[in-house]
Amino acid sequence: MSVMYLEETQWARRRFLALGLGVIGTLYLVAFILPMLYMVAVSFGETRLGTDQFEFEGPLAAYERFWGSEYYREIMFDSLRLAFSAIVGTIALGLPLAYTATKGSRWYRIVIIVAVVNPLFVSTIVRSFGLDLFLKAINLADSFGAVLIGTVQILLPFMVLPLMSGFRAVDPLTVHSAKTLGSGRFRIAVQIVLPTLAPSLLAGSVLVFILSMNIFSIPLILGRPEDPTMALVVYHSALAHANFTFAAGVALILLALALVVIFLQGRLVRGAVRGVV
């Protein structure tokens, strides 16, 4: 009897669980996979939409226009420059903060987490407005520096949170034995802490890279209109010029950059793990 009861529940449960996955799977298919495919298709489409004058024709027009013109290539390098500066900035601020938050007392931890994490929760736009007003008051607004400060402020938690779990992963016993065997602090930092930290450092950098390339509200509010980022080009082409082909093309270039970086990160982490073991 008990066997029958078990089998009956197994069946009902399996059906119930499959239903749960089915619903969310269908939603993803319709509202996630399908739109992405449409965007790929549209980026190779004819450029019927839009008011822009197009020098390029054919299915690759959007991509040729982007790679072919000095103007857009310059924008891409500016966006990359912003992304790498943001990585350097968040690491410089994030390392000491994450270290103290992990190793310090409970109060250090609470203060640092509240200080660092709150931009995640309070509107990026409102925050950028406040920063813009403040920077205007001290004559720093509308510059690369302003965009960088805004980006670092918003993205710092994406560096600090992975770094905190990285510092937590450092084995205190290994550090202790290294100390007993006579290693100095510098040697411990380079040979024990840094290798353990490397995956988190990479993960944080990848997140900061992708997000700083893609957030358009910060350069829109804090930057000069004359030198937009790639995300702003997407935004303007789609909404101001209604040129979906070009917008989709640039968006896919952005996405490709993100995927390349994620792939490289995976390779590097795997390589590092193999190197250590």
Q: Which residues contact 180 (CB under 8 A, 6 or more apart)?
A: none
Cβ-in-10-Å burial (0-12, 13-18, 19+) of 44 comes to: middle
Do the beta carbons of residue 168 and residue 199 sit within 8 Å? no
Comparing CB distances to other proteins, the nearer of 42 and 272 is 42
Q: Which of residues 27 and 60 has its CB atom nearest to other proteins in the complex?
A: 27
Token output for 194: 């840094």
Per rule CB under 8 A, is residue 88 in the interface with other proteins?
A: no
* Cα separation, 9 vs 12, whole angstroms: 5
Binding-site member from 235, 236, 243, 246 for other proteins (CB under 8 A) = 235
- Binding pattern for the stretch 165-204 against other proteins, x by CB under 8 A and - elsewhere: x-------------x--x-xx-----------------x-
Stretch that binds other proteins, among 53-61, 65-73, 83-91, 124-132 (CB under 8 A): 124-132
Crossing angle of helices 70-103 and 194-214, in 10° steps, is 140
For other proteins, the binding residue among 197, 201, 221, 222 (CB under 8 A) is 221
- By CB under 8 A, name the one of 162, 219, 223, 228 that touches other proteins: 162
Closer by beta carbon to other proteins, 266 or else 271: 266
- Please, are residues 208 and 231 in contact by the beta-carbon 8 Å criterion? no
* Rounded distance between C-alpha atoms, residue 85 and residue 145, angstroms: 10
Q: Which is nearer to other proteins, 48 or 58 (CB)?
A: 48
DSSP code at position 121: T
Residues between 7 and 66 with contacts to other proteins, criterion CB under 8 A:
9, 12-14, 16-21, 23-25, 27-28, 31-32, 34-36, 38-39, 42
Select the residue interacting with other proteins from 11, 71, 77, 130 (CB under 8 A).
130
Nearest to 120 by CA among 165, 157, 83, 160: 157
